[in-house]
Structure 1
């Protein structure tokens, strides 16, 4: 917990004299969450009237389709005066990570019946990584620069730099808030399902059995607006569990079993269905849910590629099946098939989004790996002969080596987090963002001359940008090519507004797109004559930033 408290402290908008900072992967995701939060507090979504009316800040006039609960929760806390944005990001995150650690411990304790194994499984999960530590040691021992700033040794193995695995601390639990909120619920559901499916169905009261299923169904049903990948993963695994645990040899229990699972399905779907409708149109676009194995194009076979990604953890999680009883095997295989699906079928445009469901498999796989280490240990041998004691010592030594090698890459990945702090907002950004907040209408649309994803227009003021960071448009399945073409055309016009014909064309596009303000950065400045000719007025000029208002927009 101390580690996580420290990491949250440096990750969430840490104060420095020249602005706010984050650590490594925070630069990619934190501005996105700021967009959503500030849009609810004082921006484009502050007067929203339902999920179908949410606005996308990085792509104006586009419906926002995303699980909003974790960010809406933060916006409510800030809006209620419970603290600033930084504090309301940190405090709930600490509470959620405490829940996550506790629940993961009890999940593997329940399944594998070993307190020590459950503790070891936590280390194996949180510091998971593959063979990148070998590359790290080679560079270190040969005097080469290990370059922690630019190399993540979970993904950098030999001459490959995008191995398909993420350390959960570095790449998921810190930057991706939806996962931090969704994962504890998934583990709670898994614990409930394990308890339900391992009791004696014949002697269990049906009402109690159905109530437990209804609770699991309720938790499943609330997942889509918290974390859609979590909902998919639970639905996938629960269907397999229903099949694998079916009491095929006990016909007298069929009705009770089917009815109880029906309760789970009905409750979860009644709650989830209205939420899923929000995502349906976006999810059915081309490029979603297509077969695309993660190792394609890597010039290697699947096992070799996955072994680089997970190293000894992959071996332990496979060999460990021989140490499991039938119920443990059924439960684990259900999650393993989820992982196989995630390795083969691409759910979204960016393959690494599948990592969110692979981590759910690893909740249980880390327990299997830890159980394998303990079952392979010689502690059960009672023979005290010198030769046997020596062999036991050697065996324990090798087990320790295996354990260290299974977490070494992950430890390096977590160690590097605070080594490179990145400024996410300058002091000027905050001045400009706050000025926009208090001096422009909440439904304003800004044309920006860059696509910087941490623009204060959206991240601080919560206003819409005509075409912001293209990476978010891509990952959200938005067909952005026509708008990208139009923005490029506008940029060319902006650099040559001395000609009245080009001024008219520029204003025509601004009117079509309902753009009221222009946000310029860096070297780009407009002369007084151009401002007058184009009916523009400079509102703010600070540092490298200029905010310009259109005086006479003509919106239909």
Structure 2
């Protein structure tokens, strides 16, 4: 029943998204209706519970009020009103009015594959434990802790659960609260995670195809650009062709030794499905808003469909706290296209006014988000906004690095740019600005994470190259020769990613065994959601990830790349586990202690002290949970 209620809840928000699509994009075709229903529905699911939570906390009443608001929007969208004729309907950039088979042929297979990967990579129950895939082994426990803690603690804006003393998240938490709301409705953790992700996948894949179609005005070109982006890869597969079958099959058995992620050979350009959309929720939800937004932006900027600016504002409004990289990419692309508009129209304020309305309204929404959540953490954290040239290249020639990593698309970028028309060049200019910044500036402690920007440049490059390839193939007279050349090009450009996705499909790793699940269930049912736990700093922590309880210090693998100084808390964990005292437990605000297999393996735990000074709450399956009952006066 709780799962059914969650599905109904999601359906109401999608109905509201459909109503907004009817109002804001009245002439949209079936494909656009699907994409923007998903995108607007997600926007509302992200924003409405958060807005009510500012007053009521992230609680069930806030979630229910958000549902009422979404239902009202859904109903209002169907209320009859006079609609002005669509002046842009006859323009070449307007939406198609008929079903486009190429769209469904491209979007449906990758959507279904990705949904299956989410199912097998997220708390997959087998042999009494939770299992995952290769790409989610490291990231998923972090996301689970955020999703669970937001729902359990009810604070909004939420407090960071991984480090005592750290209140600012340092992470775009709206990509997590979009699942936390379903926990409030009683949904299981896995279902709460995946339900909004499924909707986001539809917006990402559909929005990517629409962006290419709106730019290239050709279903064939849009489909090729789609394939080159979502299934594209470089020449990393060649490293696995030597050494016989054993070396090749290592792709499907080794941990992160694939044709798109083989650090030993400086292969760093990952497949976006396997390594960005499935494991990284910020990227998934960021692109779910950004790609449809860019698809509309092309019509707004290049076809002068001025009425689209409110839809653009709505899609962009929450981006900074969903994925900051996507917000920055949108600003850079908009900046270039606005310069183009200024050059063409100069003092034609009737044309420029929608640009100013779009920028002004978005700025008014973004400013408080940036001032209260993003900038304070950037100033307090370490490793943000540093000069660094050449992204993640470690030892290769600059151009060879990108040739072997990106492959066909990178090789053809220059001729494709020269071949393209003026409008397409201007759009790619936004991509070049993204490339320039990404190659010289680090926006977070891990320079590898600049790929979240670089992939937007790459998306525009795939569109550019698809335009060139299809135009050149059309110049070949024989259809059979066209087909052979097309197959050869697609195979060369996608073989590495196909192997990588095959690896993801068969990968299985255990996240939490039955004993870890049992202790998490006990902690969730019998401890204070705000009570802080003392435990080890291991990556897989059931108290943090499955029960959502705040802990003294989490894994440095996460904290370092969030730019946080965790040295004092990490040292305190060892001190408190190995030489505990009432005074220091009180000093670090510890309410509970969990001692499990990882704590016993990584520390010389003084369990006798905890047994003598704390109340034993749980002792099963190798896990012991104590409540701190004595504090220093």
Work out whether the TM-score is over 0.5: yes
Task: Give the CA deviation at 1:264.
Answer: 1.5
- Whether the 8 Å contact between 2:610 and 2:626 is mirrored in structure 1 is no
| Residue from 121, 140, 160 that aligns with 1:30 | 140
| Residue from 509, 515, 518 that aligns with 2:593 | 518
1:355 maps onto 2:451 in alignment: yes
Q: For residues 123 and 399 of structure 2, what CA distance do their matches in structure 1 show?
A: 40
1:479 maps onto 2:584 in alignment: no
Provide closer, same or farther for how the CA distance between residues 492 and 99 of structure 1 changes in structure 2, counting only shifts above 3 A. same
Task: Give the CA deviation at 1:75.
Answer: 1.6
Which residue matches 1:530? Answer: 609
Which residue matches 1:440? Answer: 527
| Residue from 265, 277, 280 that aligns with 2:375 | 280
Which residue matches 1:156? Answer: 262
Q: For residues 89 and 41 of structure 1, what CA distance do their matches in structure 2 show?
A: 12
1:193 maps onto 2:297 in alignment: yes
Task: Give the CA deviation at 1:394.
Answer: 5.3
Provide closer, same or farther for how the CA distance between residues 296 and 136 of structure 1 changes in structure 2, counting only shifts above 3 A. closer
Which residue matches 2:358? Answer: 264
Judging by fraction of residues, say which structure has more helix: 2
- Whether the 8 Å contact between 1:31 and 1:453 is mirrored in structure 2 is yes
Equivalent residues in 2 for 1:50-129 (5 A)? Answer: 50-51=156-157, 54-63=158-167, 64-81=169-186, 83-129=187-233
Higher relative contact order (CA 8 A, sep 6+): 1
Q: For residues 337 and 251 of structure 1, what CA distance do their matches in structure 2 show?
A: 22
- Whether the 8 Å contact between 2:476 and 2:482 is mirrored in structure 1 is no
Task: Give the CA deviation at 1:186.
Answer: 1.0
Q: For residues 243 and 439 of structure 2, what CA distance do their matches in structure 1 show?
A: 30
Which residue matches 2:59? Answer: none
Equivalent residues in 2 for 1:382-531 (5 A)? Answer: 382=477, 389=478, 396-448=483-535, 450-493=536-579, 506-522=581-597, 523=600, 530-531=609-610
SS of equivalent residue, structure 1 residue 416: helix
Which residue matches 2:129? Answer: 19
Task: Give the CA deviation at 1:491.
Answer: 4.2
Q: For residues 287 and 173 of structure 1, what CA distance do their matches in structure 2 show?
A: 25
Choose 1 or 2 for highest CA Rg: 1
Stretch of structure 1 that moved more, 19-28 or 133-142: 133-142
- Whether the 8 Å contact between 1:219 and 1:268 is mirrored in structure 2 is no
Provide closer, same or farther for how the CA distance between residues 236 and 252 of structure 1 changes in structure 2, counting only shifts above 3 A. closer
Task: Give the CA deviation at 1:111.
Answer: 0.6
Which residue matches 2:86? Answer: none
SS of equivalent residue, structure 2 residue 509: strand
- Whether the 8 Å contact between 2:121 and 2:132 is mirrored in structure 1 is yes
Stretch of structure 1 that moved more, 546-555 or 263-272: 546-555
Task: Give the CA deviation at 1:142.
Answer: 8.2
Over residues 279-325 of structure 1, what are the superposed CA-to-partner deviations in whole Å (9 max), with x where a residue is unaligned?
11111344211121245772222111111210112112332112211
SS of equivalent residue, structure 1 residue 518: strand
**What TM-score do you get using the length of structure 1 for normalisation?**
0.86
Task: Give the CA deviation at 1:91.
Answer: 2.7
Q: For residues 196 and 123 of structure 2, what CA distance do their matches in structure 1 show?
A: 15
- Whether the 8 Å contact between 1:31 and 1:454 is mirrored in structure 2 is yes
SS of equivalent residue, structure 1 residue 146: helix
- Whether the 8 Å contact between 1:93 and 1:180 is mirrored in structure 2 is yes
SS of equivalent residue, structure 2 residue 359: helix
Provide closer, same or farther for how the CA distance between residues 172 and 251 of structure 1 changes in structure 2, counting only shifts above 3 A. closer
- Whether the 8 Å contact between 2:382 and 2:445 is mirrored in structure 1 is no
Q: For residues 156 and 296 of structure 1, what CA distance do their matches in structure 2 show?
A: 13
SS of equivalent residue, structure 1 residue 546: strand
Which residue matches 1:304? Answer: 400
Equivalent residues in 2 for 1:541-556 (5 A)? Answer: 541-554=619-632
1:325 maps onto 2:421 in alignment: yes
Q: For residues 538 and 166 of structure 2, what CA distance do their matches in structure 1 show?
A: 19
Q: For residues 272 and 488 of structure 2, what CA distance do their matches in structure 1 show?
A: 22
Provide the aligned length of Structure 1 versus Structure 2. Answer: 514
Task: Give the CA deviation at 1:341.
Answer: 1.9
Q: For residues 450 and 211 of structure 2, what CA distance do their matches in structure 1 show?
A: 23
- Whether the 8 Å contact between 2:200 and 2:284 is mirrored in structure 1 is yes
- Whether the 8 Å contact between 2:435 and 2:454 is mirrored in structure 1 is yes
Provide closer, same or farther for how the CA distance between residues 530 and 87 of structure 1 changes in structure 2, counting only shifts above 3 A. closer
- Whether the 8 Å contact between 1:313 and 1:406 is mirrored in structure 2 is yes
Task: Give the CA deviation at 1:226.
Answer: 1.6
Q: For residues 137 and 310 of structure 2, what CA distance do their matches in structure 1 show?
A: 40
SS of equivalent residue, structure 2 residue 619: strand
Can you give the 5+ residue segments of structure 1 that lack an aligned partner in the other structure? Answer: 202-207, 383-388, 494-502
